[in-house]
Amino acid sequence: SSFLTLPVELVYRILDNFERLDIFLSIQNVCTRFNIIISTYIQYGTFTELKLGSQLLNHKKIQLLAHALQSNMTITSLNLECNKIRAEGIQYLAEMLQKNTTLTTLNLEKNNIGAREIEYLAQALQNNRTLTTFNLGWNYVRDDGAQYLANALQNNTTLTTLNLEGNYILADGIQYLAHMLQNNSSLTMLNLERNQICAKGAQYLASALKKNRTLTILDLGWNYISDTGAHYLAYELQKNTTIKILKLGSNKISANGAQYLAQALEIQTLTRFDLRENQISSIGAEYLAHALQRNTTLITLDLRSNGIGTEGAQYLAYAFPNNMVK
């Protein structure tokens, strides 16, 4: 008899000899009957995550993958990091995102993705209503790509986590993202670590924090924001009650910047504050210690590699018995 007319249980036994990825890429969508059988195949039904990192998938395989995902109802997480996916492959994935209704997590980290590819993905985000976590870390988004993403996220109501670490985004690109943050109502975590936003970029983001009421985690580590940028952020943070985790590690912040941030800590609702690898010294530690005596929410304060010395440590130690956190 024809393979297409075999009893379902026998097809299950045949499928037992295939890897789930082979089923996904080669057997799914062969015909309607196979799709129905596969959808009830127990081993396949538990297949919710695809990890294809560092496979150097060519555009043909990406095309097969994207086609299979258009109608797939089980995969919720797709990891394609380190694949050097070219523009054609990204275009296939973008088309898939406009039709897929189950994928919630997409990792495209380290794929040499530039502004052209980001434009394809941004267009998809305007229509996609299921993706919640998008990792674009260590690509080449730059300012143009940041503009495409910002425009797409103005009206997107599902994406909650966006990683743009290490993407050569300057202050101009941050301006686009900051404008988006004033209107976006779903993003809760934004990672901008290791870009080059400087003080000007920090100023744009500070203005956005004045209006944004959904972002809870903001990572600005290794961005050269300096004391000036810290001042901008501290001033607006005094009016923001939604940011819970703020990371400002390695930003050339001195005792002066620590003084500004300490003023914000006195009335801010942060639970975790990362100031590692700056230059706040014992003087900055003293400012922060005074703030801790009034702060009622902070749980974790990271001051590693700040040259606070024994004197700075003593200031902080004296503050802990008076800290309002129980």
Confidence band, pLDDT 50/70/90 cuts, at residue 10: confident
Mean pLDDT of 285-299: 95
pLDDT confidence of residue 2? 65
Is 70 exceeded by the pLDDT of residue 3? no
Q: What is the DSSP letter of 251?
A: S
With a CB cutoff of 8 Å and minimum separation 6, the contacts of 46 are none
Element (H or E) spanning 94, and its range?
A: helix 87-97
Percent of the chain with pLDDT over 90: 78
Separation of alpha carbons 134 and 226, rounded Å: 29
pLDDT digits (tens, 9 = 90+) for 151-176: 999 989 999 999 999 999 999 999 99
Confidence band, pLDDT 50/70/90 cuts, at residue 326: very low
Of 277, 278, 209, 211, nearest in space to 244 by CA: 209
Separation of alpha carbons 208 and 87, rounded Å: 32
Element (H or E) spanning 133, and its range?
A: strand 133-135
pLDDT digits (tens, 9 = 90+) for 233-265: 999 999 999 999 999 999 999 999 999 999 999
pLDDT confidence of residue 29? 67
Domains of the chain, residue spans = 1-47
Residue of higher predicted confidence among 309 and 36: 309
pTM for the model: 0.92
Q: Apex CA 192: angle with CA 84 and CA 51, to 5°?
A: 40
pLDDT digits (tens, 9 = 90+) for 194-231: 999 999 999 999 999 999 999 999 999 999 999 999 99
pLDDT digits (tens, 9 = 90+) for 120-131: 999 999 999 999
**What are the tokens at 132?**
């919640």
